[in-house]
Structure 1
Amino acid sequence: MSKPGSTGGRPHTGNKRFISGVVEGFYGRPWTMEQRTELFKREQKWGLNTYLYAPKDDYKHRMYWRDLYTAEEAEQLIALISAAKQHNVEFIYAISPGLDITFSNPKEAAALKRKLDQVKQFGCRSFSLLFDDIETEMCPADKQAFSSFAHAQVAITNAVYQHLGDPEYFLFCPTDYCAAFCTPTVSQSSYLHTVGEKLLPGIDILWTGPKVVSHKISVESIEEVSSVLKRPPVIWDNIHANDYDPQRLFLGPYKDRSTELIPKLRGVLTNPNCEFYPNFVAIHTLATWCKATPDGGQRDVEMGDEEQDPFYSPQKALTLALTDWLQEFLSTDQPGGRPAARLKKESSDEEPMQTDMGESSYIPGPGENPLYTAEPLTLDDLKLLSDLFYLPYEHGATARTMLQELDWLKTHSWDAAAETDKFSQSVEWRSRAQRFDDMCEAVVQMFNRLSNAPNRSILYDLYNYICDIKSGVGLARAYIKTLGGQGRPSAQPMNDDPEPWGFRGGLSGEFQRMLPCHGNRDLYRHPPMTAVYCIRSYCPEDKMEVERIFTEMKSAGDGRVPLMMQPPLICDSLSTGEISPSPQCGLVLEDEIGVCGYALALIDAKPAAAKIQRAVSDSVLKDFPSLVTIQVLPRVTDPSPAKRMIGQLLSSIRSSGSRGAFCELRQSDRRMLDFYTKLGSVKPIQITGLPEGILAMGTSL
């Protein structure tokens, strides 16, 4: 272990070395003793120097803090503290008595000192008192003894610190441990001012930044809190913590913390993912960051070409970490590993690596299936994995691209079925759909190679997450194939009787979908609409505009057939204004240019049918007595306004007592055919005597 004042090649503050390392401070299953020992080895290798023992769900750390450790538990802690010393890692034992301690009771203080004395006997020399995530209301006895909650915490912390002999490393976590918790502000917080003024100067204070999970931590914010606390803080960094959401994992780099912070801090401890093995990136990149100062010794990589921070590049640090992590994946030295699988070689004339199966090694005969070979995991696979599980406030570049492409493909799906003047857009849609499909396929292949990696310990920590993202990508992939008219694939997510993986999220997902504004905090914000649409009631003055749209779209429908030779539809008389829509059954769509669409209906379709002498059987009119028509100009690329119009129209028809509605379409009108088909509730119906090139669709109400 480095001597007091020695930095071990790392930055320092005053005569103490800069604290750098890991806090095991999350909620959930604590790490195993073997994993912690592995952590110490990594910290020593990467130049980190501290481990803070603070697992929230270790009963004797928090809930049963008064209870002494048993002989068996003591043996484990002694071994752990010894392992930390062997690897030059400062072991800091933390205890959280704040759930139920009575500060004014001398017996409580004695119990706390007795517990820490026991740990001191195990060989521990550094300690921490944590008062995070607790109720701030004092009990009546403490209210009589102390003028404030801060005074109560400071009194017992100072007493314990002095009882232990003023340890060189002693950390205090305040209840207001981030700027968001301070009332009214950091600089005006009476709680923090009391802590800063009354806490003994040898005690360091933990701080998470502007928020519990801070997106960015600025130099100015640290200078502000340091002034109030009268000492630089130790950052407890939750940037990679995932205990608040079981569906999230963070494999992105340590970032959005300038290296200018380092001389203004006492240290940085990362509180990472609950799963041990995926924390390779979080800890590795933090180590790179800690070295990235002008006087920080040998840096891992040169960072001088970066504009934002001349000493640290998150992307270079990430690549460095993933390169090293790849070797871990391919290693069988980890606990739980398996013999390396057969891996395909770059050169076809090399023999594949075989598992050690002795004389019983199987060789397939002529005409039999060849032995299964696992594709080797690549650095690109790990970069993709990191992009898909990046950081709390942002997705990686590939994930952002996939979301943008999916959004574009959804918005412009009408163009996929368009013809004539929209042909170029249709080509673009299909090209981008293929690009999206290729990206989805890359995720599937990454999953396959990860699943075959020799190091099973890492895989098992990742497995739930990579299964989930593979399934989500598969649903999106199937949806886009359907939009492109490529049939109904087996993974089609929208049908009348879906498999359970077709509706994700369980009860939690159901609750979220029922809440208003769900999704307004998504990391991927939908790009702003290029147009604002207004839906209003149809009035007689709209007759000419509606007829203009009808004529324009009929002309564009099939250029091979002259307009006058196209057979009439029953609904044409509605669009031309020869018959007025029923009351409350006419809608017009407007954008910034003008009228760009309409939706009209007749409660009783018989007059319109009679006008063109179209015979419609009574059985059809019994089930579908009403008639609808809708048309939207090609410049409306968003299908949502049209869906809203038809929804309102069908609602009005239903209110009139009608049992159903039908429409007639020209087969050349691929765009509207696609629209009605995707509504789901509108199905083809049989009407005898329809002219060639015309079909009917209907929906029950």
Structure 2
Amino acid sequence: MSKPGSAGGRPQTGTGRFISGVVEGFYGRPWTMEQRTELFKREQKWGLNTYLYAPKDDYKHRMYWRDLYSAEEAEQLVALISAAKRHNVEFIYAISPGLDITFSNPKEVAALKRKLDQVKEFGCRSFSLLFDDIETEMCPADKKVFSSFAHAQVAITNAVYQHLGEPDTFLFCPTDYCAAFCTPSVSQSSYLHTVGEKLLPGVDVLWTGPKVVSHKISVESIEEVSSVLKRAPVIWDNIHANDYDPQRLFLGPYKDRPTELIPKLRGVLTNPNCEFYPNFVAIHTLATWCKANADGGQRDVEMGDEEQDPGYSPQKALTLALTDWLQEFLSTDQPGGPRRRPPARLKKESSDEEPMQTDMGESAYEPGPEENPLYTAEPLTLGDLKLLSDLFYLPYEHGPTARTMLQELDWLKNHSAAAAAAAETDKTVEWCFRAQQFDGMCEAVVQMFNRLSNAPNRSILYDLYDYICDIKSGVGLARAYVKILGGQGQPSAQLMNDDPEPWGFRGGLSGEFQRMLPGHGNRDLFRHPPMTEVYCIRPYWPADKMEVQRIFREMQGAGEGKAPLMAQPPLICDGLSAGEIPPSPQCAFVLEDEIGMCGYALALTDAKAAATTTKRAVSDSVFEDFPSVVTMHVLPRVTDPSPAKRMIGQLLSSIRSSGSRGVFCELRQSDRRMLDFYTKLGSFKPIKVAGLPQDLVAMGTSL
């Protein structure tokens, strides 16, 4: 069992040392040798003791694991291992042979031993075998020798471990490395039980927690897996990993892992962001967490209602990390780096010194009384870094400021109409006040961006630049939208136009795919109303006819003051909902929640047939522009508009695929809910239909 008190000290030999540090195990560009050396310095300074070398894109670590290192590569690794030793950091070399190894072939085992022997000659004394993210089906040759995949992996791991002289530190990463991968569960996993029973006791096992990227890791979950593995695991923590999403960066503190875990673990290694420099917070706060038990930390009385750990406060750890990080931002990382222009006029007033001279020997330019003042780059502040962290917090939550901005934007959007209708009432005053507050928060983001852009340390800036440009643009769009809602600006092309500039929207092809899938949106970190339901959108089947009719009848009777159905003017699309006309092939979808069917969207690619059935005379010009008709109903229990939007989006895509040029729908003016829905979609616009009854509205969209 590990000794938590050693987490913050120098690396120790033997199995009593608590492993704490960093694993470079992400997909993407590996860190440079210089960055890794800088990491060792930081680990030593902060009390961490381990570095696990496992970059997925080092060919000779994974894809070409059999190949020995060249003389030049060997020189680099020798230098890296030596640098780790100088800074009292244990260098663990990991290799991933699982993509194509044949476990039963002695030549393969020999190749693996030969490769690790070479690395041992470089001065490395700690090793790791990784079998993560590989196919679980054994080849026919291995099936003849091993009774299971776990037996094959354990056999080769034990053989290599013994060949290397049973090193003090030897890590094994299982294929089922989190609870979500275990079948049927952690306690009943035959794979994990084989690992626990057959793996030699000196080999430690890596584990990511309940999931690949675990929101929380509980003491109970670690006790469960430890019982099965017959040893305390080493946590490979992906809480700050961002290699799965190129638009996300994580600058929040290490959290949701109680310090009571420390005595129950062999160690913790963080696998952080791909970008090296933004990992300052992830590694710094992990170091604070690791030292919590040893330091006997006090309960943070400033945490309010947040769940508290008597030994560790994420918010205090974050502030400590950001305070130290600020000094790195303010130090020039390269000769000739940018310097902040001092406020020349203030200096001139407070001193009799001559004005600053330029490199050309000319006097500094001084603008005239009515000319633009010189731009002055203001220094970055701790508040800027706190805002930056809030905007790029953690995988399962936004920071406090980001949550507030989302809540305010949501409130302003939903109450703009009421405020406008209320004229000079208290509602208007409140709306304007909150709009002003929101604008101030947006301005703070812009100023943070400006000060970051002028920070002397360009290496950190360049790792952050794509992210801060993106958030600045997104905040700018929201800011402009609120001003439009408040009548302070004209609708801009990027917000309101059907043909926006490319920089006015996000996502590319990946975004297009996601918006077409049923689950898109139900894992948003900000939800209004809160998403508690899981919705399924599937194609309509003939057996759904009765349920569609039931929903249709229920929606016709909903609402106060509605006239009986027979007394209401017929809609062209009513025949679809009533089951009198079948929808066109591939042009019908239903929405289901945990209770059952709760909505539907049906279409006819040729609307003339429906018009004939309802005996409605419609001019041919309407059918030329909008040859198809659509109808949709969603029960009131579906309070989130996202599923309905996804369903209508899929339906329109199917209609477009049929070759239709456009689609229209008819709505009763009393149906405020559906009128509001189609209006907010943005693509449907009111259209003129000759002979349309007075209390009906027609809306259409081109495809």
Q: What interval of TM-score do these two structures reach, taking the shorter chain for normalisation? A: 0.7 to 0.9
1:230-629 alignment, distance < 5 Å: 230-293=230-293, 296-297=294-295, 303=300, 308-332=308-332, 334=333, 338-343=337-342, 357=359, 359-360=361-362, 362-364=364-366, 366=368, 369-419=372-422, 423-488=425-490, 490=492, 492-528=494-530, 545=561, 582-584=569-571
1:404 Cα deviation after fit: 1.1
Structure 1's 480 and 185: CA in aligned 2 closer, same or farther, altered over 3 A? same
Distance 1:65 1:527 in 2: 50
1:481 Cα deviation after fit: 1.8
1:413 Cα deviation after fit: 2.2
| Counterpart contact for 2:217–2:257, Cα < 8 Å | yes
1:394 Cα deviation after fit: 0.6
Name the amino acid aligned to 1:81: I
Aligned counterpart, 2:596: none
Name the amino acid aligned to 1:434: Q
What SS does the aligned partner of 1:513 have?
helix
Distance 2:175 2:284 in 1: 29
Structure 1's 103 and 482: CA in aligned 2 closer, same or farther, altered over 3 A? same
Distance 1:698 1:584 in 2: 10
Aligned counterpart, 1:16: 16
1:15 Cα deviation after fit: 5.0
Name the amino acid aligned to 2:451: R
Deviates more, 1:490-499 or 1:142-151: 490-499
What SS does the aligned partner of 2:322 have?
helix
Distance 1:473 1:487 in 2: 16
Aligned counterpart, 1:601: none
Name the amino acid aligned to 2:389: S
1:503 Cα deviation after fit: 2.3
Structure 1's 112 and 659: CA in aligned 2 closer, same or farther, altered over 3 A? closer
Structure 1's 7 and 464: CA in aligned 2 closer, same or farther, altered over 3 A? closer
Cα deviation code 1:70-108 (max 9, x no counterpart): 111111111111111111100100000000011111111
Distance 1:99 1:355 in 2: 63
Cα deviation code 1:548-585 (max 9, x no counterpart): xxxxxxxxxxxxxxxxxxxxxxxxxxxxxxxx864238
Name the amino acid aligned to 2:516: M
Distance 1:537 1:48 in 2: 64
What SS does the aligned partner of 1:524 have?
coil
What SS does the aligned partner of 1:108 have?
helix
1:681 Cα deviation after fit: 6.4
Name the amino acid aligned to 2:414: T
1:173 Cα deviation after fit: 0.5
Give the count of matched residue pairs: 590
Asked if 1:52 corresponds to 2:52, the answer is yes
Deviates more, 1:178-187 or 1:312-321: 178-187
TM-score by length of 1: 0.75
1:542 Cα deviation after fit: 11
| Counterpart contact for 2:340–2:379, Cα < 8 Å | no
Name the amino acid aligned to 1:338: G
What SS does the aligned partner of 1:472 have?
helix
Distance 1:382 1:347 in 2: 27
Asked if 1:203 corresponds to 2:206, the answer is no
What SS does the aligned partner of 1:417 have?
helix
Cα deviation code 1:276-313 (max 9, x no counterpart): 000000000000000001xx1486x8747666211100
| Counterpart contact for 1:113–1:163, Cα < 8 Å | yes
Structure 1's 164 and 106: CA in aligned 2 closer, same or farther, altered over 3 A? same
| Counterpart contact for 1:538–1:586, Cα < 8 Å | no
Structure 1's 60 and 409: CA in aligned 2 closer, same or farther, altered over 3 A? same
| Counterpart contact for 1:154–1:198, Cα < 8 Å | yes
Name the amino acid aligned to 1:341: R
Distance 2:179 2:163 in 1: 31
Distance 1:528 1:277 in 2: 35
Aligned counterpart, 2:215: 215
Distance 1:356 1:461 in 2: 31
Cα deviation code 1:457-516 (max 9, x no counterpart): 011000111111111111112222222222325464121331111221111112222223
Distance 1:535 1:346 in 2: 73
What SS does the aligned partner of 1:31 have?
coil
1:336 Cα deviation after fit: 7.9
Name the amino acid aligned to 2:290: C
Distance 1:544 1:239 in 2: 50
Deviates more, 1:159-168 or 1:242-251: 159-168
Name the amino acid aligned to 2:400: A
Distance 2:441 2:41 in 1: 37
Structure 1's 676 and 187: CA in aligned 2 closer, same or farther, altered over 3 A? closer
Aligned counterpart, 2:103: 103
What SS does the aligned partner of 1:412 have?
helix
Deviates more, 1:463-472 or 1:349-358: 349-358
Name the amino acid aligned to 2:430: E
Cα deviation code 1:417-446 (max 9, x no counterpart): 1136x9322322222222222111111111
TM-score by length of 2: 0.75
Distance 1:55 1:431 in 2: 50
| Counterpart contact for 2:91–2:126, Cα < 8 Å | yes
| Counterpart contact for 1:23–1:54, Cα < 8 Å | yes
Asked if 1:121 corresponds to 2:124, the answer is no
Structure 1's 542 and 52: CA in aligned 2 closer, same or farther, altered over 3 A? closer
Cα deviation code 1:114-158 (max 9, x no counterpart): 111111111111111100001111111111111111111111111
Aligned counterpart, 2:90: 90
Aligned counterpart, 1:570: none
1:163 Cα deviation after fit: 1.0
Name the amino acid aligned to 1:179: A
Cα deviation code 1:228-251 (max 9, x no counterpart): 111111100000000000011000
Structure 1's 373 and 260: CA in aligned 2 closer, same or farther, altered over 3 A? same
> Structure 1: 5+ residue runs without aligned partners?
548-579, 588-620, 624-637, 652-656, 665-671, 686-696
Instruction: Give the superposed CA RMSD.
Output: 4.3
| Counterpart contact for 1:344–1:374, Cα < 8 Å | no
| Counterpart contact for 1:27–1:55, Cα < 8 Å | yes
| Counterpart contact for 1:337–1:457, Cα < 8 Å | no
Q: Pick the structure with greater CA Rg.
A: 1
Distance 2:558 2:146 in 1: 76
Distance 1:231 1:683 in 2: 68
1:405 Cα deviation after fit: 1.3
| Counterpart contact for 2:356–2:364, Cα < 8 Å | no
Name the amino acid aligned to 1:414: A
Name the amino acid aligned to 2:21: G
